[in-house]
Amino acid sequence: MKVLLVDDEQHVRDAIRLLIDWETLGIDAILEADNGDTAIVLIEEEQPEIVITDMRMPHRDGVSLLAWLQAESRKCKTIVVSGYDDFELVRSSMKYGGLDYLLKPVDPEQLTEALRKAKLSWEGEERSRQLTQQRNMEINQIKPLYWDKLFSGLISENGGKTSLPSVLKDEFKLDLIERCLTIVVGLDTLEPAVMRKFALNRDLLFFALSNVCNEILREDGRGFAFRYWNSEHEMVLLLWGRLEEWPDTIRRVQAGIRNTIQSRIEFGIGTIQPFPSGVSVSYQKARAALKQRNLLDFSDSLNGVEPAAAASGAGGSLSMTDYEERFRVAVRSGREKDLQAAVDSWIDALSRLESISQSQMEQWFSEFDAIVNRLFNDKASRPEESGADIGEFKLNVADNSIQLLSSLMDETGRLSLSIWRERLLAGLNELAQVYHGGSNRQQEMNVMHEIAKYMEQHYHREVTLQDISERFYLSREYISRRFKQEMGENVFDYLARIRVEKARLLLANPNLKIGQIAEMVGYDDEKYFSKVFKKIEGVSPNQYRKQQEG
Burial 258-268 (b: 16+ CB within 10 A, else e): eeebebbbbbb
* Number of helical H runs and strand E runs in the chain: 23, 10
Instruction: Walk along the chain (550 residues) and give the pLDDT tens digit of each residue.
Output: 999 999 999 999 999 999 999 999 999 999 999 999 999 999 999 999 999 999 989 888 989 999 999 999 899 999 999 888 877 888 888 888 888 888 889 899 999 999 999 999 999 999 988 887 777 666 566 677 888 888 998 997 655 455 677 888 888 888 889 999 999 998 876 777 787 788 767 788 888 899 999 999 998 899 999 999 888 778 999 999 999 999 999 999 989 988 888 877 888 899 999 999 899 999 999 998 888 888 887 654 444 444 434 444 445 579 999 999 999 888 888 888 889 999 999 999 999 998 898 889 989 988 988 888 888 776 655 544 444 444 444 444 444 556 677 778 887 778 899 999 998 998 888 888 777 765 445 555 667 888 898 898 888 888 888 888 877 767 788 888 888 988 889 999 999 999 999 999 889 888 888 998 998 898 989 999 999 999 999 999 999 998 887 6
CA nearest 290: which of 405, 393, 445?
Answer: 405
* Spatial CA neighbour of 325 closest among 310, 300, 346, 307: 346
Q: Is the distance from CB of 378 to CB of 415 less than 8 angstroms?
A: no
Bridge partners (DSSP) listed for residue 78: 51, 98
d(CA 355, CA 293): 8
Whether residue 315 contacts residue 356, with contact meaning beta carbons closer than 8 Å, is answered with: yes
Q: State how far the alpha carbon of 46 is from the alpha carbons of 38, 49, 72, 549, in Å.
A: 12, 9, 15, 48
CA 87 to each of CA 54, 67, 79, 91, 94: distance values in angstroms, whole numbers, following the listed order: 15, 17, 16, 6, 11
* Cis amide bond preceding 105, omega within 30: yes
- Around 78, how many Cα atoms within 13 Å sit in the side-chain half-sphere? 29
Helix (H, G, I), strand (E, B) or coil at 4: strand
Q: DSSP class of residue 398?
A: T
pTM of the model: 0.55
Beta bridge partners of 267: 185
Question: Residue-wise over 129-142: b if at least 16 C-beta within 10 A, else e?
Answer: eeeeeeeeeeeeee
Strands 50-53 and 2-6: parallel
Query: Would you list the domain boundaries of the chain?
Result: 2-128, 158-309, 312-439, 442-550
Rounded to whole angstroms, how far apart are CA atoms 185 and 266?
Answer: 6
Please give the CATH superfamily to which domain 2-128 belongs.
Response regulator (3.40.50.2300)
Let me know if domain 442-550 sits in CATH 1.10.10.60.
Answer: yes
> Model confidence over 380-431: pLDDT tens digits?
555 444 444 444 444 444 445 566 777 788 877 788 999 999 989 988 888 8
**Which helix H or strand E contains 237, and what residues bound it?**
strand 234-239
CB atoms near residue 71 (< 10 Å): 9
The CA R_g of the chain, rounded to the nearest whole Å, is 35
Q: 43: closest CA among 69, 82, 67?
A: 69
CATH level 3 topology of 158-309: Alpha-Beta Plaits (3.30.70)
